Amino acid sequence: ATVLISGASGFIALHIVSQLLKQNYKVIGTVRSNEKRAKLLRQFQHNPNLFLEIVPDISQSNAFENVFKRHGHEIRYVLHTSSPFYYDTTEYENDLLIPALEGTKNILNSIKRYAADTVERVVVTSSCTAIITLAKTSDPSVVFTEQSWNEATWENCQVDGINAYFASKKFAEKAAWDFARENAGHIRFKLTTVNPSLVFGPQLFDEDVCEHLNTSCEIINGLIHAPANGTPSDLHSIFTDVRDVAQAHLYAFQREDTAGKRLVVSNGKFGDQDILDILNKDFPQLNGVIPLGKPGTGDQVTSPGATTDNSVTRELLGFEFKSLHQTVHDTAVQILRKENRQ
Ligand code: NDP
């Protein structure tokens, strides 16, 4: 069967493409440029089941038209992963909100127009940021679940990159559910969303480890390169591993019981101190080179505040999520190998 995946060059998407190819799917990926196309084809060793099309900007209303004109008749599953993920902008609408929202609407409209009868399942990569209301994260009485929605509005989210990114994912996901409901009589597909927390883990290819990594892995990369006299920040969040997130994307279209669901893929809280403890314990070459902080005190930072309960998703997916230790360890091993510091 043929799977279309948007944003195939992304950190998470590469792991999904790899798992799809291993399971013998024909994969049509979209990337933004010829250079990325050539690079990916080389990295996947010109796998005959991998086809790449160029979609320079998902915000353009006709972004996916050509892809569907050419391949629509054979695409059975669509995974929409592409969306801007960075905080470093003040152009909140142009850089974050509009591409996230319009990109989602554009791919869904192209399915309806060109592949309404052939596409059976659609998976939109959403995020825990579509679930979590930032203003409530320090309230210990709050529990976020598969039912929760970020309460940000289009106007009030435009205060900083983090708030705008969080909201961009909420508006995009909401548009997907609205689309599925409003077009129920005109489309065949069932929708599933995958809502990961911050995603760690190795890049699929060592060569993609560079000075600055994708937004989530950069948290670990930053601590590996933090000066010994630095102090860990009080920032904390929830994490998951990229290989689990990729697996969830496959189950999201392969299994009947995931149709219509929001899959919240997360394995608990973490803070800087927890990551530093793992780095200092597992990698003696980092001792005295990176901060030590106050080992063992991570939960003093992470335990207060709101919690996320994704027991419904855990039960549904039925596999064990990778631990913080494993995901941080594997991320660091790859970075240190690339820097000849193993
Ligand atoms: P990446 O930045 O590695 O991947 C994002 C992908 O989207 C890239 O291929 C990027 O292309 C593409 N893209 C972004 N904007 C556009 C645009 N306007 N037009 C066309 N393509 C675009 O990030 P991740 O792999 O981490 O993220 C993938 C998805 O997962 C996103 O939807 C993100 O919101 C979601 N997510 C990520 C989490 C994480 O912690 N990593 C957590 C929860 C959700 P290019 O690189 O060429 O610009």
Q: Is residue 111 part of a domain?
A: yes
CATH of the domain at 141: 3.40.50.720
Q: Is residue 218 part of a domain?
A: no
Q: Is residue 335 part of a domain?
A: no
What integer pLDDT is reported at residue 61 of this predicted model? 95
The pick from 4, 5, 6, 12 for probing ligand 1's pocket by mutation, whose C-beta has the most ligand atoms within 8 angstroms, reads 12
Q: Is residue 287 part of a domain?
A: no
Name the residue with the closest Cα to ligand 1, atom 36: 127
pLDDT per position as a tens digit, 54-72: 999 999 999 999 999 999 9
Q: Specify the ligand 1 atom closest to the Cα of 240.
A: 40
The pick from 85, 122, 263 for probing ligand 1's pocket by mutation, whose C-beta has the most ligand atoms within 8 angstroms, reads 85
pLDDT per position as a tens digit, 93-138: 999 999 999 999 999 999 999 999 999 999 999 999 999 999 999 9
Q: How far is the CA of 136 from the centre of ligand 1 (A)?
A: 26
The pick from 59, 83, 101, 215 for probing ligand 1's pocket by mutation, whose C-beta has the most ligand atoms within 8 angstroms, reads 83
Q: Is residue 281 part of a domain?
A: no
pLDDT above 90 (res 329): yes
Q: How far is the CA of 229 from the centre of ligand 1 (A)?
A: 33
Name the residue with the closest Cα to ligand 1, atom 4: 10
Q: How far is the CA of 168 from the centre of ligand 1 (A)?
A: 12
pLDDT above 90 (res 87): yes
Q: Specify the ligand 1 atom closest to the Cα of 14.
A: 25
What integer pLDDT is reported at residue 235 of this predicted model? 87
Q: Is residue 286 part of a domain?
A: no
pLDDT above 90 (res 88): yes
Q: Is residue 288 part of a domain?
A: no
What integer pLDDT is reported at residue 330 of this predicted model? 98
Name the residue with the closest Cα to ligand 1, atom 8: 10
Q: How far is the CA of 228 from the centre of ligand 1 (A)?
A: 32
pLDDT per position as a tens digit, 186-238: 999 999 999 999 999 999 999 999 999 999 999 999 999 999 999 999 989 99
Q: Specify the ligand 1 atom closest to the Cα of 199.
A: 40
Total domains, the chain: 1
Q: How far is the CA of 11 from the centre of ligand 1 (A)?
A: 7
Q: Specify the ligand 1 atom closest to the Cα of 36.
A: 47
pLDDT per position as a tens digit, 11-51: 999 999 999 999 999 999 999 999 999 999 999 999 999 99
94: CB partners within 8 A, 6+ apart: none
Q: How far is the CA of 294 from the centre of ligand 1 (A)?
A: 34
Q: What CA–CA distance (Å, rounded) separates 191 from 298?
A: 38
Q: Which amino acids bring their CB within 6 angstroms of ligand 1?
A: 7, 9-13, 32, 36, 55, 57-59, 81-85, 99, 125, 127, 169, 196, 198-199, 214, 216
Q: Is residue 219 part of a domain?
A: no
| ipTM given for this complex | 0.99
Residue 66 sits in which domain range?
A: 2-199+238-269+308-321
